[in-house]
């Protein structure tokens, strides 16, 4: 009788440990999927931004005939930013992918900033209805990107916390749940790029 009780007790203990392990593993999977889903929202907004840029360049091109270099720089920066996004999409949360995405977006922000600064010298362009609409959409998209980036960073922080905290760390290591990287902008450029571009047309 004593041996049966002992075996049942051991079975209950091992069953409890197995249930805890499965629950912890599933929580880590949910957290990882949450940050990947949050990155998908960044992807949607960045694609929207990329789609707006050719329209913006086409609208500006007719007015800014002497600013060909500026227009070409915007298109080149857009292409580089798209490549950074493609690499990040393949592995969201990877440190090098996030660094590449950030670098591409900073390059694009700089090129767009120069385009908008140069366009201030063209009063007819400022009065163009199409330009006003594109500028408004671009500003709206920048705000959406900011919100999506914040949601992604929140999801990554939650995931990383689950991986680091006991007892989740006991499951995270053996099952290769690696830390994810935040999507951050370097401090020296944060003030410029965090705010949506100031557009007055």
Q: pLDDT 10s digit of each residue in the chain, 201 long? A: 788 887 888 888 888 888 888 888 899 999 999 999 999 999 999 999 999 999 888 888 877 777 788 888 999 999 999 999 999 999 888 999 999 999 999 999 999 888 888 888 887 877 778 888 888 888 899 899 989 999 999 999 999 999 998 888 888 888 889 899 998 754 334 444 444 444 444
In the chain, the number of structural domains is 1
Q: Give me the pLDDT at residue 196, please.
A: 47
Domain membership of residue 65 (yes or no) is yes
User: What six digits make up the tokens of 106?
Assistant: 């900073």
Among 182, 28, 92, which residue's Cα sits nearest to residue 84? Answer: 92
Domain membership of residue 114 (yes or no) is yes
Domain membership of residue 15 (yes or no) is no
Among 173, 150, 182, 186, which residue's Cα sits nearest to residue 21? Answer: 173
Domain membership of residue 9 (yes or no) is no
Cα–Cα distances in angstroms (integers) from residue 74 to residues 52, 105, 115, 187, in the given order: 12, 11, 7, 23
Cβ 117 vs Cβ 59: under 8 Å: no
Cα–Cα distances in angstroms (integers) from residue 79 to residues 71, 150, 158, 167, 182, in the given order: 13, 24, 32, 44, 23
Separation CA 82–CA 11 (nearest Å)? 54
Cβ 32 vs Cβ 91: under 8 Å: no
Residues contacting 167, CB < 8 A, separation 6+: 20, 24
Domain membership of residue 5 (yes or no) is no
Q: Give me the pLDDT at residue 191, please.
A: 42
Q: Give me the pLDDT at residue 29, please.
A: 92
Domain membership of residue 12 (yes or no) is no
Residues contacting 178, CB < 8 A, separation 6+: 163
Q: Whole-structure pTM over 0.85, yes or no?
A: no
Q: How far is CA 108 from the centre of its chain?
A: 15
Q: Give me the pLDDT at residue 160, please.
A: 93
Domain membership of residue 179 (yes or no) is yes
Q: How many CB atoms lie within 10 A of CB 49?
A: 21
**Phi, then psi, of 199 in degrees rounded to 5:** -120, 120
Three-state DSSP at 197 gives coil
Helix segments in 62-128, DSSP class H: 68-90, 95-119, 123-127
Q: Give me the pLDDT at residue 199, please.
A: 46
Domain membership of residue 17 (yes or no) is no
Q: Give me the pLDDT at residue 195, please.
A: 46
Separation CA 35–CA 39 (nearest Å)? 6
Q: Give me the pLDDT at residue 185, please.
A: 59
Domain that holds residue 98: 22-194
Query: Where residue 179 sits, what CATH number does that domain have?
Result: 1.20.1440.20
């Amino acid at each position: 009788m004593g041996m049966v009780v002992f075996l049942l007790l051991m079975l209950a203990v091992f069953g409890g440990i197995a249930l805890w392990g499965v629950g912890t593993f599933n929580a880590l999977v949910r957290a990882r999927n949450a940050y990947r889903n949050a990155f998908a929202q960044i992807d949607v907004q960045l694609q929207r931004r990329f789609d707006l840029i050719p329209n913006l360049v086409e609208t500006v091109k007719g007015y800014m005939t002497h600013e060909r270099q500026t227009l070409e720089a915007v298109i080149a920066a857009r292409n580089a930013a798209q490549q950074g996004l493609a690499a990040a999409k393949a592995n969201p949360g990877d440190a090098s992918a996030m660094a590449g995405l950030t670098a591409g977006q900073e390059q694009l922000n700089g090129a767009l900033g120069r385009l908008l600064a140069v366009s201030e010298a063209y009063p007819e362009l400022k009065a163009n209805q199409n330009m006003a609409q594109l500028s408004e959409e671009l500003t709206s998209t920048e705000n959406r990107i900011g919100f999506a980036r914040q949601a992604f960073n929140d999801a990554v922080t939650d995931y990383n916390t689950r991986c680091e905290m006991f007892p989740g760390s006991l499951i995270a290591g053996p099952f290769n749940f690696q830390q994810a990287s935040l999507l951050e902008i370097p401090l020296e450029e944060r003030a410029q790029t965090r705010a949506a571009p100031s557009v007055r047309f």
